[in-house]
Amino acid sequence: MRDQALLKVENLKVYYPVKKKSITSVRQYVRAADGVSFEVYEGEVFGLVGESGCGKSTTGKAIVRLIKPTEGNILFEGKDIFHKSDKKAYRDFNKQIQLIFQDPYSSLDPQFTVGRIIAEPLVVNGMTDAGQRKERVLELMKEVGLRPDHYDKYPHEFSGGQRQRIGVARSLALNPRLLVCDEPVSALDVSIQAQILNLMKELQLAHQLTYIFISHNLSVVKHICDRIAVMYLGHIVEIAGKEELFSHPSHPYTKALLEAIPIPDPDAACMQETLEGDVPSPINPPEGCCFHTRCRYACDECKKKVPELHEVAPGHFSACHLHQNQNKNGGNHGNQTNRSGK
């Protein structure tokens, strides 16, 4: 259908060791990502959604090589990003994938001026001519909506939205192809959030960028993403195109997530059926389907067997025994109420 995937994540597992309670106890691991696989195509915005602790940020960090996976591969244009021949190969690769951080307050060095912050990636990557560098920085600043007189200011002189613009300019400095955006707007107020989201959309069109957009806010994800993966306890439970996911959510967790969002309309029906309980600890995740402890459709099979992602509609994958069985029996999966139709 489409060309080769720009980025391919295969069975990614990231386990963080937990500090042992005593010398004799068994080493335990937090299974932050536990078998995550997906593909991202050139020019699309791929959303990773889930609640805290679901492994979405861990996955993002592994993609930019900030953490080493315990198992699994990440291929960028078909080449493994963790096994490069030499330093130069890594450096070339680093230019292509950049990260936008969540917190615009802690991700900018308070001792650097804005100009210096944005120039940093250029310095590291060998743009030695200061005049040329400044020119590039000013160009970037203009692009993200910062004024040239901001060049010599320090981060503390800016508001959250402005700082996030600085962060965006810095990530764009090396003309990356893929941007991993880790909750780029969740620290911002709504009116500012809209500005940054619009800016990101404009930049994407202008530079044919590919985004991996990590967020817990489904409304934001729906606004900006083309395809969305829903994560729960280190697993991807559902992947689908935006329209399909919001009109025909298949996995019970996705449905519950959609149901839990308060809609800004007093007459809209939502939050009627809420999930019970808490997310289980990723140290000892439940056997079988990770969601069965909170799922209202859980059956015996769910407690034993881990469901695999399977296609419920073209391009729409869901990891749930319920639908697998329904499909086998010729049942349909489209029996959900359509919330986006209003």
Partner 1 sequence: MSEKLLEVRNLRTVFHTEEGEMPAVDGVSFRLDSGEVLAIVGESGCGKSVTSLSILKLIPSPGEIVAGEILYKGEDLLKKNTKEMNQIRGEEISMIFQEPMTSLNPVFPIGHQIMESLIYHGEKDKAKAKARAIEMLRLVGFSTPEKAISYFPSQLSGGMRQRVMIAMALTCEPQILIADEPTTALDVTIQAQILRLLKELKEKTGAAIIMITHDLGIVAQIAHNVMVMYAGEAVEYAPVRELYKNPLHPYTKGLLQSIPKINEDHDTLYNIPGMVPGPKDYPKGCRFCPRCEYAGERCEREKPPYVKRADGHRVRCWLYEGGEANDA
Q: Considering only residues 126, 266, 314, 330, which one is a binding residue for partner 1 as defined by CB under 8 A?
A: 266
Residues facing residue 17 across a β-bridge: 29
Instruction: Tell me, by CB under 8 A, how many residues bind partner 1.
Output: 46
DSSP string, 88-138: HHHHHHHHHEEEE-S-TTTSS-TTS-HHHHHHHHHHHTT---HHHHHHHHH
Distance CA 4, CA 25 (A): 46
Regarding 274 and contact with partner 1 (CB under 8 A), the answer is yes
Q: Considering only residues 95, 150, 207, 223, which one is a binding residue for partner 1 as defined by CB under 8 A?
A: 223
Q: Considering only residues 25, 190, 314, 329, which one is a binding residue for partner 1 as defined by CB under 8 A?
A: 190
Regarding 150 and contact with partner 1 (CB under 8 A), the answer is no
Regarding 262 and contact with partner 1 (CB under 8 A), the answer is yes
The minimum distance between CB 116 and partner 1, in angstroms, equals 23
Regarding 279 and contact with partner 1 (CB under 8 A), the answer is yes
Regarding 137 and contact with partner 1 (CB under 8 A), the answer is no
Distance CA 95, CA 109 (A): 20
Regarding 192 and contact with partner 1 (CB under 8 A), the answer is yes
Q: Considering only residues 98, 102, 162, 293, which one is a binding residue for partner 1 as defined by CB under 8 A?
A: 162
Regarding 157 and contact with partner 1 (CB under 8 A), the answer is no
Q: Considering only residues 96, 216, 286, 326, which one is a binding residue for partner 1 as defined by CB under 8 A?
A: 216
Regarding 264 and contact with partner 1 (CB under 8 A), the answer is yes
DSSP string, 236-269: EEEEEEHHHHHHS--SHHHHHHHHHSPPS-TTS-
The minimum distance between CB 233 and partner 1, in angstroms, equals 12
Regarding 159 and contact with partner 1 (CB under 8 A), the answer is yes
Distance CA 27, CA 20 (A): 6
Regarding 261 and contact with partner 1 (CB under 8 A), the answer is yes
Please answer whether residues 153 and 100 qualify as being in contact, where contact means their C-beta atoms are separated by less than 8 angstroms.
no
Q: Which of residues 233-252 bind partner 1 (CB under 8 A)?
A: 246
- Identify which of 227, 274, 255 has the alpha carbon closest to the alpha carbon of residue 340: 255
Nearer CB in complex with partner 1: 8/222: 222
Collapsing DSSP to helix, strand or coil, 301 comes out as helix
**What values do phi and psi take at 121, rounded to 5?**
-60, -30
User: How are beta strands 97-100 and 79-80 bridged, if at all?
Assistant: unpaired
Regarding 205 and contact with partner 1 (CB under 8 A), the answer is no
Regarding 256 and contact with partner 1 (CB under 8 A), the answer is yes
**What values do phi and psi take at 171, rounded to 5?**
-70, -25
The minimum distance between CB 270 and partner 1, in angstroms, equals 7
Helix, strand, coil percentages for the chain (3-state, nearest 5): 35, 20, 45
Regarding 283 and contact with partner 1 (CB under 8 A), the answer is no
Q: Which residues bind partner 1 (CB under 8 A)?
A: 51-52, 159, 161-162, 189-195, 197-198, 201, 216, 218-220, 222-224, 246, 256-268, 270-271, 274-276, 278-279, 339-340, 342
